[in-house]
Structure 1
Amino acid sequence: MNKTMLSVAAVLAIGVGSAQAADLPAKVYTKAPPVVAFDPWDVAFGGAIMSDYVFRGISQSNQKPSVTAYFEPRYNINPNLQLYVGSSFESISFTNRAAAEVDIYGGIRPTFGPVAFDFGVWGYLYPGGKCADSLIAPGACPLALDTVYVANGNIMKKDVSFYEAYGKVNYTFNDTFSLGATAFYSPNFLNFGTEGTYASVVGKVIVPPTWFGTSGIGAFVSGEFGRQWLGRTDGFYGNIVLPDYNTWNVGLGFTYKVFTLDLRYTDTDLSKGNCQAITSDFGSNGVESNWCGERFTAKLSADVTLQAVK
């Protein structure tokens, strides 16, 4: 009798267990998916053409079109920490007739959730320059054979290269809005013999992609307000105190695949006389410069990374 009851109980237990198992999602155990190798290396590169090369509100290309290109190798220690170095060049038009602006930079980009930082050092090199002196009152440049003469009384050093240490932070609130701040410091800004500090706040609003349907076009609105602090120059420039100034810009950008079209308004609060003191504008009347005034610019750029095209 006991054996019979035990047998019945066993059958019932097996039946109940089978019914419960049938109600559960089936788990099919297969071979583990292959581990995709993480490649920490990447390279970003690109170029652009712009109607005017504007740096902190001041034209660097004599209010004429300019071209630029860059190359930036990157090493991702992990998804939230990146090391990078890079180089870029921009076509310019300076009083000392420098051939171009060549930038060499490097730094680190840590990310903590929505907060992204960027710390590094940026070198601005201006090869091919000559000392600029005036036909009216020559004497600032030591060697006449290595001098560019300008008729409006301006002077400029042969080498105006300098470097800056910088820090940036950007907070992404959501898929639409981000806000950030930047700070740059140079012990010898543009080789004036004075320190230079620049700080700004930046913001960006991304237009919802649904606005453009399935066209692949994106859009954004961005802006910046910054202040440049300068000081007293060295003897070459007459030991004058260069003016501090504010600069701002706001623009509308359109993106399509790797391309970006940026349309931007920029301005400063520099007077034409103070603009002349900072720029040594060779095309001016020697008293006032238009390089720092309000202007609209257009820039068409293309940016690619190797990881994106693999």
Structure 2
Amino acid sequence: MDIVSLIAKPGALDAALVDSLRNAWGGGVVVWLSEGEAAEFALLAAPSNFDAVRADIADQVDLNLLPAEGRRKAMLLADMDSTMIEQECIDELAEEAGVGPHVKAITARAMNGELDFEGALTERVALLKGLPETVIAKVLAERITPMPGGRTLVATMTRAGGHAALVSGGFTAFTEQVAARIGFAEHRANTLLAEAGHLTGEVARPILGREAKVTALEEITARLGIAESDVIAVGDGANDLGMLDRAGMGVALHAKPSVQERCALRVNHGDLTALLFLQGYSRAEFAA
């Protein structure tokens, strides 16, 4: 049995649309997880026109189809930049270094899979050479903001006994603070090298990229004694595709086009609490 999930911005999900799809596809009783925001119904089999309908309503609703069994996951594995926070940390550092537009252009291409991640990261970090280390704290305080719904997502899954891990192709100087602010149990990322209080323009090896995120999935699930199918992973860039493919539930959140094409589960209208709706949590079950 499958579940059809519909998620929109609060107040934007039309009950008539939900009922129309349920009737057209012969679905079960509609369950509202959040009035005007998230609803779902069961189906015995996937409809043949699902992709066409999804495309037709993509400008207003996130329509997803997922198995009814095993929806509530025991672990969250999340990317950081443009996923758990609203920014790309390296772009914000680049603004402070006076090379913002150049670095942002490279970041956009790398996250869409147009450039090799490791090479693109090395090139961008080199442009930060000489930047005072103190700028990191300044960027964290003045430029970095959490993605809406992130704290609720982590708190709700943690309260239910889940484990939350932050894995980033960014930098530990940021993941340490972001993980603490949002409530992650652990974090992994790259290390910016510094000397005499200034960035050297280099990053420690090995570089954590796409394969390292898959390794994190393998290692953490093995340590916790859970299956990869017990994991919900979320990300937005090409270097997230490995973990999104391997996790039991891989969600592309406001993702780059090349990533959305590869992911069955996509969220473009909801915030991070959409990952709770996809697992069948109602808003009444969210942690405060």
Instruction: Decide which structure has greater strand share.
Output: 1
**TM-score if structure 1 supplies the norm length?**
0.21
**TM-score if structure 2 supplies the norm length?**
0.23
Return the index of the structure with the highest Cα Rg: 1
Instruction: Decide which structure has greater helix share.
Output: 2
